[in-house]
Amino acid sequence: MQVSLVIPSYNEEESLAELHTWIKRVMDEHKLSYEIVFVDDGSKDKTWDVIEQLANENSNVRGIKFRRNYGKAAALHTGFQAVQGDVVITMDADLQDSPDEIPALYKMITAEGYDLVSGWKKKRYDPITKTIPTKLYNGVTRLMSGIQLNDMNCGLKAYKREVVKSIEVYGDMHRYIPVLAKKAGFNKIGEKVVHHQARKYGETKFGLERFVNGPLDLMSVLFMTRFGKRPMHVFGFLGGLMFVLGLFFTAWVLIQKALYVFWHVGIKPPLVTDNVIFYLALVSMIVGTQLFLAGFVGELIVRTATDRNDYLVEKEV
């Protein structure tokens, strides 16, 4: 099978049949063998009824239904486990992603050798309250991850099958799949300008909380990709730095008191606790010790984790 499409769906009963018809037309025109995996993420409308009908009428349509709403990342991860195609393409179910882009994305993976191709909605039909934060988010993500994509969170992406089988998407990490793929050793990541359409049915499923969760998830994924299996490298370094800083402040307080005694013979010196630097020294040493212990505990957890030696083998001979 050439192409597997994974389509998370949440309250999209109005758009699914139209989306399926559009996909079928494009795939038949380009003579591509394909399957569609719809993942119903706990919809409260008749989304699952539509998916069941499509699956009954089309042998290459499959449906997976969650008992409740778990989020887009869970839907993608579950879909990734089910796919069988050589190229896996994800898209949203709201008709804002165009299936006409599928053949070009497929070619970039198969003919040009990309591991992952991310869509770039260069011209968006979204309100300014969404476009401006998105630009800021993408800029920060490029800076912190080193992956030069203009639209990291675009739902329209294409992957080699090995990529989706090698990464674990959880929480809200669907925003950072290119970062997870790079961590797994898939470094050829490309981008394609794709057509973005105005929403035809329903309303957006993403609220203001994404502006809070997004940066937190970015920090999590960057930490996990860089220090997930060696936490002492970051906590030990920071803890040692804070502890040494505390020792420096302590020495400075003691030197100040010694100089005061030397120059003011016979006068009672001020208490060490009257010096604000004493408290900086105390806090620095306490925080340094806590950070070091956090790194130590992290190392113990990593050493007992079942996936501590879970490395991706590309080839054997």
Mean pLDDT by 10 residues, the chain (317 residues): 95 94 96 96 93 94 92 91 95 92 96 94 70 74 81 90 90 83 90 83 60 64 65 82 91 84 72 85 91 81 59 47
With respect to residue 316, please indicate whether it lies within any of the assigned structural domains.
no
With respect to residue 85, please indicate whether it lies within any of the assigned structural domains.
yes
| Burial 228-266, CB ≥16 within 10 A → b, else e | bbebbebbbebbeebbebbeebbeebeebbeeeeeeeee
Residues 212 and 275 in one domain: no
Between the alpha carbon of residue 185 and those of residues 189, 191, 270, the distances in Å are 11, 18, 60
Which pLDDT does position 168 carry in this prediction? 84
Contact 101, 194 (CB under 8 A): yes
Looking at residue 186, which CATH number applies to its domain?
Answer: 3.90.550.10
Which pLDDT does position 184 carry in this prediction? 85
Residues 204 and 256 in one domain: no
Axis-axis angle for helices 128-145, 210-227 (nearest 10)? 10
Contact 22, 48 (CB under 8 A): no
Which pLDDT does position 112 carry in this prediction? 95
**At which of 227, 242, 270 does a domain end?**
227
Residues 279 and 202 in one domain: no
Which pLDDT does position 134 carry in this prediction? 73
The range of the structural domain enclosing residue 285 comes to: 232-304
The contacts of residue 60 (CB under 8 Å, 6+ apart) are: 34, 35, 36
**At which of 185, 203, 227 does a domain end?**
227
Q: Say how many C-beta atoms besides its own lie within 10 A of residue 122's C-beta.
A: 11
Cβ-count burial of 207 within 10 angstroms (0-12 exposed, 13-18 middle, 19+ buried)?
A: exposed
Backbone dihedral region for residue 203 (phi beyond 0: left; psi -120 to 50: alpha; all else: beta): beta
Which pLDDT does position 118 carry in this prediction? 94
Number of domains in the chain: 2
Residues 120 and 155 in one domain: yes
Residues 173 and 294 in one domain: no
Residues 185 and 236 in one domain: no
With respect to residue 309, please indicate whether it lies within any of the assigned structural domains.
no
Between the alpha carbon of residue 163 and those of residues 23, 77, 93, 123, 167, the distances in Å are 23, 12, 22, 28, 7
Task: Determine the length of the chain.
Answer: 317
With respect to residue 67, please indicate whether it lies within any of the assigned structural domains.
yes
With respect to residue 213, please indicate whether it lies within any of the assigned structural domains.
yes
Alpha-carbon torsion (12, 38, 191, 100), positive or negative:
negative
Which pLDDT does position 315 carry in this prediction? 47
**At which of 168, 199, 227 does a domain end?**
227
Residues 250 and 177 in one domain: no
Nearest Cα neighbor of 305 from 293, 317, 297 is 297
φ and ψ of 198, to 5 deg: -65, 145
Contact 193, 105 (CB under 8 A): no
Which pLDDT does position 3 carry in this prediction? 96
With respect to residue 42, please indicate whether it lies within any of the assigned structural domains.
yes
Q: Which residue has the tokens 């989706």?
A: 164
